[in-house]
């Protein structure tokens, strides 16, 4: 079975697939990683559904979209795990989890739980701009186009002038993807650093689902 492509995961999301009793309702940006982990570990009890990853750029829309999805899918599952961190929602996802009695992934965002939440918080890298595998692949859809840098490259420093380094948190070893992330760093005028994180805390969170 072919898996949804990145553009679909960015713009449309993914309906539930499988016949598990646990639904992971996640950001489209995590779809491949969650799928890889469930396949690798034989977690057949876990189904995956994704909201469009581009909601990342409009965090105020995430919790309302999750609410709709929870209400739609809840009758079909024993439990739901929210595959988001706080993701810039200012506690709105936590409030939703409390309301429905469900859990979400640990930490403020995917950069943190890929890095290991504790390690990420300790680092406190305020001048680093992060990419994951998904964001490296979808850099134009998430950064270049919405910020208008394709049409107005002169705006680059208004957005990124205070950043120093683009840190690529790599979930996989992929030379082509590393090259894309490095090109992204160059296009933003930032130093480049690659850190292999694997799936970080994501595996533990799914294992306990």
Partner 1 sequence: MADEDDDIILSELSDEELVEQMMDDLYDGLKDEILEGVNILLERGWTPYRVLTESLVAGMTIVGRDFRDGILFVPEVLLAANAMKGGMGVLRPLLVETDAPRMGKMVIGTVKGDIHDIGKNLVGMMMEGAGFEVVDLGINNPVEKYLDALVAEKADILGMSALLTTTMPYMKTVIDTMKAQGIRDDYIVLVGGAPLNEEFGRSIGADAYCRDAAVAVETAKEFIQRRHNQVNA
**Which residues would be at the binding site for partner 1 (CB under 8 A)?**
59, 86, 88-91, 108, 124, 126-127, 146-149, 151-152, 155, 158-159, 162-163
Minimum Å distance from CB 37 to partner 1? Answer: 26
Minimum Å distance from CB 86 to partner 1? Answer: 6
CB-wise, 59 or 106, nearer to partner 1? 59
CA 21 – CA 10 distance, rounded (Å):
26
CB-wise, 18 or 108, nearer to partner 1? 108
194 neighbors 181 (Cβ within 8 angstroms): yes
CA distances for 137 relative to 29, 95, 142, angstroms:
10, 31, 10
Find where tokens 């993807």 sit: 177
Give me 112's structure tokens. 């943190």
CA 85 – CA 102 distance, rounded (Å):
13
CB-wise, 6 or 164, nearer to partner 1? 164
CA distances for 38 relative to 44, 47, 50, 66, 78, angstroms:
7, 9, 15, 22, 18
CB-wise, 38 or 89, nearer to partner 1? 89
Give the single-character DSSP code of 2: P
CB-wise, 159 or 192, nearer to partner 1? 159
Minimum Å distance from CB 118 to partner 1? Answer: 15
Minimum Å distance from CB 124 to partner 1? Answer: 7
Minimum Å distance from CB 34 to partner 1? Answer: 23
């Amino acid at each position: 079975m072919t898996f949804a492509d990145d553009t679909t995961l960015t713009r449309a999301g993914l309906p539930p697939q499988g016949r598990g009793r646990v639904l992971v309702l996640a950001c489209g940006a995590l779809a491949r990683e969650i799928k890889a982990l469930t396949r690798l570990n034989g977690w057949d009890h876990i189904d995956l559904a994704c909201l469009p990853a581009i909601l990342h750029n409009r965090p105020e829309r995430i919790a309302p979209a999750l609410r709709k999805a929870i209400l739609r899918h809840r009758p079909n599952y024993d439990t739901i795990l929210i595959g988001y961190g706080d993701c810039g929602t200012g506690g709105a996802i936590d409030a939703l989890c409390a309301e429905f009695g469900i859990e979400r992934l640990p930490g403020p965002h995917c950069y943190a739980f890929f890095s290991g939440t504790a390690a990420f918080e300790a680092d406190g890298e305020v001048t680093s701009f992060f990419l994951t595998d998904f964001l490296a692949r979808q850099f134009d859809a998430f950064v270049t186009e919405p910020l208008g840098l394709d049409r107005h490259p002169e705006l680059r420093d208004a957005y990124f002038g205070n950043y120093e380094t683009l840190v690529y948190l790599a979930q996989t070893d992929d030379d082509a993807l590393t090259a894309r992330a490095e090109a992204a760093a160059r296009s933003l005028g930032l130093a480049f650093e690659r850190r292999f994180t694997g799936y970080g805390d994501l595996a533990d969170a799914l294992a306990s689902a």
